[in-house]
Structure 1
Amino acid sequence: MVELLDINRQTSVRREWEKLLSLAGLQSDPPYSAVYGIYVNGRLAATGARDHNRLKCVAVDPGHQGGPLFRQLLTGLVADAFDQGIEKLYLYTKPQAVDSFRRVGFLPLAATAEGITFMERGRPSFNEYLTRLSRHKGAPAESVVVEGDLLGEQEISLIRDALTRKETVRLFVMEGRTPLDLIRERLREFPGVFCHSAEGYLIPLSDFPAYFLPDREDRIKVQANIEGGLLADRIAPALDITGLTAVHDPHDPVRVAYNETLSDCLDGKLELTLVSPADL
């Protein structure tokens, strides 16, 4: 039976949980909305965690791999998320786990050359998301990606900069607490700007999971490759997007590394315009 684990207040549970993660080559990666586990003969044999709609830290004790625990764990985890009103789940995983997640209903959306794969389960699917976007297809457009809760003067200036290249700008808003309608209201002065939810397909750099990628530079490159591929190969054609305008802060090593990888990924597909904060 799948149980909720209290790793914050029960020290012994946390230690056993961290030991199981270590056996699987994983590490703790907060925050968590919930942590789950299955015990066999009094010992933690399988675990997984959820950060809202993203799964992470899924591990099965080596002595129980190949058995029913993985399916039992994921079935319970998905059911609990559904009970919380979450019908769509995302995850990033190592290549050796892709087939296991496929068998419990997750579909691959993009993968790096090394096989690290981005997957989803639930509705609306990515294809349905693209179909919804394509209904708004119009003139060739520039694109901008922002965090919904960080739509400040810098982001507004970035949008203005993008409008100097195209009369139409597709603004993708990453998950946040600010409703999309409120963002649209704030941008009423820009009739050529159209807001679209990024759903869980484009996420803030700080939210990218680290549980199986301990090296920060590796994480940045993986995220840039996956998101660049989704944007250039799938999202851009749905809306006739020809370019992407993004902030490039030379004093921010994370942003620099992301943009360098993104530039390689978009080369020949989308024109990437990088703007320094000093120019905004």
Structure 2
Amino acid sequence: MTDLSIHELSLGFAHDKQMLTVFLAKHHLNYEDDIEAAFGVFDADENLTGCGCCAGNLLKCFAVDESLRGQNALGSLVSRLVENRFAAGHYDLFVITRPKNKVLFTSCGFYPLAETESVLMLENKKNGLDNFYKKFLAGTEDSDNIGCIVMNCNPFTKGHLALITYAARACDLLHIFVVEENRSQFPFADRLRLVREGTDHLANVIVHPSGPYMISNATFPTYFLKEGEDAAKIQSELDITLFASRIAPLLHIKKRFAGEEPFDPVTRNYNEAMIRILPRYGISFIKIDRITTEDPDGKPEVISASRVRKLLAEHGVTDEVLSLVPECTAKYLKEKFSAESTH
């Protein structure tokens, strides 16, 4: 790359952030607010001619001017971003992009994980996914009756426990994946521990962290989507395709369970996507009715984590809250809110 240089942009300075935003817009891409670091390719006159960004373990917001094509600008940007992410403690790195960019990123040392009509996901480790999920093999994978549930459990409620109990009765072995992202009110380590404690009496249930291969709305990049494209639909199709094509076969999963979703349209649409996609891979989708309790007016109300969070925010730990959660969560909430009230 003769007469070109690469250096990090200072996103804390309005000038650099504006320059990056304008450059991305020129390439019909959007700046995303969660960007943690960005690198630019500059010509001899210090004009920005290429860029690449990152957030957490995701590399994104790549754009390169036509004048740089054939000069391996993308490879140089990826190298700097990988170095930056390693220094920040992120070693499992991912790219989510359009399928047409597959060759560009495979030539930079990334390996395809899953592809849909709209998007492609790649990672920087050839066997990263296999190595992560093989740890969860239980030695009983000769059964054709293995199921799974993916849950956030923010926090773990009697509704979650009822869903797990139902699914456990329908399977020889049930894998529970607790969503690992720490973007929830309750920390991941606490959520994982509560689900393990709350299901300890179910001998055929194994509880795992979800790992970085289960994609959420919170981390899915939308910078390359066109106006009118449904980000939640595209994200759910990629997430379900990755699960069905790569994760389920490793663990011999043939059933996936989820609770009925009467309120949240995003979750309801995700369930509908599972109904469409999972059978293509020989996986059954089983939707389970949510359990209810009476509200203060005597009307039936679904037990949900959002209801628990709302009550906690309004009134703290009350008898109503404690009636909605298993004993392990009740003990945890009393300790947590008691500790917070003393500070």
Q: Structure 1 length normalisation: TM-score?
A: 0.87
Q: Deviations over 1:202-255 (max 9, x none)?
A: 122332211112557632232222222222232222222221111332332222
8 Å contact kept, 2:178–2:192 = no
Partner in structure 2 of residue 258 of structure 1: 270
State percent identity of aligned pairs: 25
Instruction: State how many pairs are aligned.
Output: 278
**Which residue, 171, 176, 188 being the options, matches 1:171?**
176
Select which of 20, 23, 26 maps to 2:26: 23
Q: Pick from 252, 255, 265: which aligns with 1:243? A: 255
1:93 to 78, 93, 97: 97
Matched residue, 2:59: 55
Show CA shifts across 1:101-150 (max 9, x none). Answer: 11111111111134x21111037612323443446443432210023655
1:222 aligns with 2:234: yes
Q: What amino acid is aligned across from residue 66 of structure 2 in structure 1?
A: P
- Report how far residue 27 of structure 1 moved: 0.7
Q: 1:174-213, aligned counterparts within 5 Å?
A: 174-177=179-182, 178-179=188-189, 182=193, 183-213=195-225
Structure 1 pair 142/69, CA: closer, same or farther in 2 (3 Å)?
A: same
Q: How does 1:124-139 map to 2 (within 5 A)?
A: 125-134=128-137, 136-138=139-141, 139=143
Decide which of 132, 146, 171 is 2:151's aligned counterpart: 146
Worse-superposed segment, 187-196 or 81-90: 187-196
Gaps spanning 5+ residues in structure 1: where? Answer: none
Residue 45 of structure 2 is aligned to residue 32 of structure 1: no
Moved over 6 A (4+): none
User: What amino acid is aligned across from residue 59 of structure 2 in structure 1?
Assistant: L
Post-superposition offset of 1:259: 1.9
1:166 Cα deviation (Å)? 1.8
Output the amino acid matched with 2:215: I
Please provide the CA RMSD for this pair.
Answer: 2.6
Normalized against structure 2, the TM-score is what? 0.72
Distance 1:121 1:22 in 2: 27
Secondary structure at the aligned position of 1:88 is classed as coil
Gaps of 5+ in 2: 183-187, 293-302, 304-343
Q: Return the index of the structure with the highest Cα Rg.
A: 2
Does 1:155 find its partner at 2:168? no
CA deviation after TM superposition for structure 1 residue 151, in Å: 3.7
Q: Report if aligned partners of 2:168, 2:202 keep a CA contact under 8 Å in 1.
A: no
Distance 1:21 1:224, change over 3 A: same
Q: 2-side partners of 1:85 and 1:207: how far apart? A: 18
Supply the AA of the counterpart residue of 1:271: S
Q: Distance in 2 between matches of 1:245 and 1:16?
A: 46
Cα deviation, 1:32-60, whole Å, max 9, x if unaligned, reads 23223232221222222222111221112
Q: Secondary structure at the match of 1:70?
A: helix
Cα separation, partners in 2 of 1:91 and 1:192, compared to 1, 3 Å = same
8 Å Cα contact 1:244-1:270 kept in structure 2: yes
Letter in 2 for 1:17: L
Q: Distance in 2 between matches of 1:167 and 1:137?
A: 9
For residues 158 and 37 of structure 1, do their structure 2 counterparts lie closer, same or farther at Cα, with a shift above 3 Å needed?
farther
SS at match of 1:145: strand
Deviates more, 1:121-130 or 1:264-273: 121-130
Q: Decide whether aligned partners of structure 1 residues 239 and 95 sit closer, same or farther in structure 2, where only a CA change above 3 A counts.
A: closer
Q: In the alignment, which residue of structure 2 is the partner of 1:271?
A: 284
Rate the CA distance shift 1:135–1:161 in 2: closer, same or farther, 3 A: closer
Shift of residue 75 of structure 1?
A: 0.4
Instruction: Give the counterpart letter for 1:155 in structure 2.
Output: H
